[in-house]
Structure 1
Amino acid sequence: MPTENLIPNAAGTYENIANSTSGVGKHWQDVDDPIGTPDDNYTRVNTGNDGVGQIDTYSLPNHSEGSGTINSVTLHFRAKKDAVGAAKARAVIRTHASQHYGDQEAITMSYANYSKAWTVNPVTTDPWTWDEVDDLEAGVTLEADASTWSYCTQVYVVVDYTPAAGRVRGYIIG
């Protein structure tokens, strides 16, 4: 099945993670690494110690290639912690003015990749539409205990779709 990748391109509704490499209003720049080449600690957002439920969401570009039926919208993120204490992260999407979360992941001291797939829009419980994908925000929540910081260096969305009949990536076949 074809896919379309969407990488953050602007700030979203929430910028509540305590720290970032780029500063206020620019957290999205710290997680917009190209797929397959994360920069890990070069740019990142992170909690301070005792960070509880800190959330960032990021705007995404409109789709440019996809058409037809959307099979899934999957948020991917890359996270780690800096010490042996407890730290967690989870995927978050914002659609129809509400947040929906993936499972809390216990993150490790080395960067690792995590993801959450939604096969239907969690608000409507109907298949995703391309307008909903264009309005989507993607992000992450980070938590850490008093002795630990948690970090996120990459966030992106992959839209898996089945092209409309007679079309492949926007071109008419025939």
Structure 2
Amino acid sequence: MGDVGALPPNLDALVSNPGYATWKGPYIRDDFTSGGADSYFKVDAWGQPYQYTGGVTIVSTGSGSSITRQLAASTNALLSNTVSAVVVDLDRTPPGATYADSVQVLLSYPDGVGGTTTAVGIPGQDGYVQFTGIPIGLHRMQVVYLPTGDTMTQLVSVDPGRDAYVDVILPMEVWSALNGGCGVPSPMVLRPNGPGSLTNLTTNGCGANWQCVSEVTPDEDVTRVTRASNKFATDVYAIEDPTDTTCIIDSVEVECRARHEKKKGKVKPTVFINGTEYNAPEQKLSKTYANYRYAWVNNPATGAGWTWNDITSLQAGVRIKGQNANFPAYCTQVTVEVYMH
């Protein structure tokens, strides 16, 4: 499916190309099965042919009754997933309203009929772009800075029924350089310094929730907040007041350093404004700690550009979930980064 973008029409298509230019099989070998024949994999333990006609179920009838096995939750879980990305420059500045059309994102994937298609996306002013209807597999993503034609290429892994997220950092200061400077280092980094309005995660190694995520250098599993459930829950924290400045704010980014314990977990950087929680798109966690970030170009409560009064009253945090009660997800650090010029 990752090569063709479609389910095999029958079991023969696993060993013989049914006519797809992107087919890269054979995908199954019988070297160690009884008889070693190329067709032996198509029969069950009783020597009867499996019943498979191209869907997500396969049936064995050799035992005298039908034994059905599901290959995936649904066809859409294999063939129609979502890939999203956030594009920022080396200074973590998104393109903004002025330069939103200066970058293009191309995602290439098999079209299901033997060829390859390329979807083209233009990120919004916050750098966010999304593609839907993507089959599972390893697909090529290209990010093109249009004024110069400079191109970044990376591979995106799309798993069954799971949205893929890509954090794209251009290897140069593009938009931050165009915006100039205001005499204050950008970004301005602010950290949690007190409890916020939402305290729904469990502490580990610390007294208060905000103390688990406020360190300058991440201490990983020494102090952390935990979510031992497959349902999302949110912590938000009061943050340090910004330094006095007349700089114009380009964006506000929340960065969460997090991981999962076993196989599954997701995170959403979060801001909390005037009693309302605003979450970034969910991102899949890895088993080792990594930074998960999202930048808001505008205040999501007002739709207008950020003001320094907004930053002074801002709460920020993390919305996270694990796999289950035995295999939690963890967050060890939260920071707010204010980009400005």
Q: What TM bracket, shorter-length normalisation?
A: 0.7 to 0.9
Matched, 1:90 2:268: yes
Q: In the alignment, which residue of structure 1 is the partner of 2:209?
A: 27
Alignment of 1:127-146 (within 5 A): 127-146=305-324
Q: Does 1:78 align with 2:257?
A: yes
Q: Which has the larger Rg?
A: 2
Give distance in 2, aligned partners of 1:66 and 1:109.
39
Q: Does the alignment pair 1:46 with 2:226?
A: yes
Residue identity matched to 1:13: S
CA distance in 2, matches of 1:88, 1:96: 25
Deviation of the 1:14 alpha carbon: 0.5
What does the per-residue CA deviation read over 1:27-76, in whole Å, with 9 as the maximum and x for residues that have no partner? 00000021xx211011100112x241111000001111432211000001
For the 8 Å contact 1:119–1:128, the answer to whether it is kept is yes
Q: CA deviation at 1:19?
A: 3.5
2:242 pairs, out of 63, 80, 93, with 63
Count how many residue pairs are aligned between Structure 1 and Structure 2: 156
CA distance in 2 between counterparts of 1:31 and 1:22 reads 9
**Letter matched to residue 54 of structure 1:** A
Report which structure shows greater RCO (CA 8 Å, sep ≥6): 1
C-alpha distance after superposition, 1:59-99 (max 9, x if no partner)? 00111143221100000110001112x21111010112211
Q: 2 CA distance for matches of 1:59 and 1:20?
A: 19
Contact 2:256 2:331 in 1 (8 A): yes
| 2:285 maps to which of 100, 104, 107 | 107
- Whole-Å separation in 1 of the counterparts to 2:202 and 2:194: 18
Query: 1:16 pairs with 175, 192, 200, which one?
Result: 200
Aligned equivalents of 1:51 and 1:19: distance in 2?
A: 17
Runs of 4+ aligned residues of structure 1 deviating over 3 Å after TM superposition are none
User: Secondary structure at the residue paired with 1:110?
Assistant: coil
Q: Deviations over 1:86-118 (max 9, x none)?
A: 211110101122111111111011001110000
Any gaps of 5 or more consecutive residues in structure 1? 163-174
2: CA distance, partners of 1:6 / 1:124: 22
Identity score, percent: 29
Q: CA separation of 1:3/1:65 partners in 2, compared to 1, >3 Å: closer, same or farther?
A: farther
Paired position in structure 1 for 2:177 = none
1:159 paired with 2:338, answer yes
**For residues 154 and 45 of structure 1, what CA distance do their matches in structure 2 show?**
9
**Among candidates 167, 188, 195, match of residue 4 of structure 1:** 188
Q: 1:29 is paired with a residue of what secondary structure?
A: helix
Alpha-carbon distance in 2 for matches of 1:31, 1:12: 13
Instruction: Tell me if structure 1 keeps the 8 A contact 2:190–2:239.
Output: yes
Distance in 1 separating the partners of 2:218 and 2:286: 17
Q: TM-score, normalised by structure 1?
A: 0.85
Which is strand-richer, 1 or 2? 1
Q: Is the 8 A contact 1:20 1:30 kept in 2?
A: yes
Q: Give the match for residue 298 of structure 2.
A: 120
